[in-house]
Amino acid sequence: MVNAQFPAEQSADGTFERQDDAFRAWVMDDGSSPYTAEAGRYHLYVSSACPWAHRTIIVRSLRGLEAAIGMTVVDPVRDERGWAFRDGDGFSHDPINHFAYLSKAYAASDPAYRGRVTVPVLWDTHTGCIVSNSDDDIMRMLETQFASVASGPDLYPEQHRNAIDKLNEVVYQRLNNGVYLAGFATTQSAYERAAYKVFETLDMLERRLTSSRYLFGSQPVETDWRAFVTLIRFDPVYYGHFKCNLRRIADYPNLYGYMRDLYQLPGVEPTVNFDHIKRHYYYTHADINPTRIVPIGPMQDLRAPHGREKL
């Protein structure tokens, strides 16, 4: 019998079924929520390794919210005690609550919580509890609320909202979560089903990016960043560790240029930490990589000209 990475989230046919997010309150600008949008009140707990957390880190940076919303990065290596706050290269202790483990934030918010303790977490320093552990919701809050303190581009423009929501769903199911469905599958058929869908989705995005610089025209929106966090991890991690190896992103001319284009936009490169990304995946999933050997490659020049400004 094969051990699943998360046995409680494995279906009978060997498919990984991700747990639902437990904390889904909203910070609002208009006073309709007890969580009012204020500078200095909220704190993000994240991992630079995690794609879901990475999206919120990017939006915080692009929306100019670094001063208004504090952030603490956990140790990328997660053992049986879960995400931990320690001091190291690119991560630190928790200056807000002095928690040693992120599980303390969950216990403080809901003592009965029994699910997996995940990043990202948006913490409210006024009430001393978690507002949200949903990356989708946190992204949206940082994009659409905090208007009085935010700056930077509109990542959820009115005229594209329906189309953004629709494409997000495909990108989430078949790409962002698709690589996990392939990597955490415990049967050949569940793996193949997921892995083929990953590449069908990359093929679809490759076509879409032939004549358009970003997914919705000449400005990146939320969906671009949702795709980016998976693309940037693909060749270093998902290609090998999650066995998504029909092709690399480097084999897709449009996607590879697009990924470098996004990477080179101001504020993005500092959010990408390949050391955290690689060590996290290869160390933490003991059932997939029991030796914990972290591969040396790939060699990539993400600062190379992408040529996509011509589109």
Ligand X SMILES: N[C@@H](CCC(=O)N[C@@H](CS)C(=O)NCC(=O)O)C(=O)O
Q: Of 11 and 19, which CB lies nearer to ligand X in the complex structure?
A: 19
Residue in 135, 143, 222, 224 binding ligand X, rule: CB under 6 A: 135
Active-site annotation holds for 50: yes
Question: Angle at which helices 51-62 and 222-233 pack, to 10 degrees?
Answer: 130
Q: What is the closest distance, in whole angstroms, from the C-beta atom of residue 299 to ligand X in the complex?
A: 25
Report if residue 235 touches ligand X, rule: CB under 6 A.
Answer: no
Q: What angle do CA 309, 206, 55 make, to 5 degrees?
A: 75
Q: What is the closest distance, in whole angstroms, from the C-beta atom of residue 281 to ligand X in the complex?
A: 9
Residue in 61, 134, 145, 254 binding ligand X, rule: CB under 6 A: 134
Find the part of the chain contacting ligand X (CB under 6 A) among 128-136, 161-169, 269-277, 290-298. 128-136
Long-range residue pairs from 33-40, CB within 8 A, at least 24 positions apart, any chain: 34/127, 35/124, 35/131, 37/141, 37/145, 37/146, 37/147, 37/148, 37/149, 39/67, 39/68, 39/69, 39/146, 39/149, 40/68, 40/70
Q: Of 80 and 87, which CB lies nearer to ligand X in the complex structure?
A: 80
Place of tokens 């084999």: 251
Q: What is the closest distance, in whole angstroms, from the C-beta atom of residue 69 to ligand X in the complex?
A: 16
Q: What is the closest distance, in whole angstroms, from the C-beta atom of residue 55 to ligand X in the complex?
A: 9
Residue in 21, 29, 38, 203 binding ligand X, rule: CB under 6 A: 21
| Total residues interacting with ligand X, rule: CB under 6 A | 13
Q: What is the closest distance, in whole angstroms, from the C-beta atom of residue 104 to ligand X in the complex?
A: 15
Report if residue 50 touches ligand X, rule: CB under 6 A.
Answer: yes
User: Could you give the string, one character per residue 72-101, with x where binding to ligand X holds by CB under 6 A and - elsewhere?
Assistant: ----------x-------------------
Q: Based on the number of CB atoms within 10 Å of its own CB, is 112 exposed (0-12), middle (13-18) or buried (19 or more)?
A: exposed
Question: Angle at which helices 253-264 and 222-233 pack, to 10 degrees?
Answer: 110
Q: How far apart are CA 298 and CA 250, in angstroms?
A: 10
> Number of helices (H) and strands (E), helices first, in the chain?
9, 4
Active-site annotation holds for 244: no
Single out the catalytic residue among 172, 180, 196, 283: 180
Single out the catalytic residue among 50, 238, 239, 256: 50
Q: Based on the number of CB atoms within 10 Å of its own CB, is 256 exposed (0-12), middle (13-18) or buried (19 or more)?
A: buried
User: Could you give the string, one character per residue 106-125, with x where binding to ligand X holds by CB under 6 A and - elsewhere?
Assistant: ----------xxxxx-----
Reading the block at residue 264, the tokens are: 């080179």
Q: Of 280 and 306, which CB lies nearer to ligand X in the complex structure?
A: 280
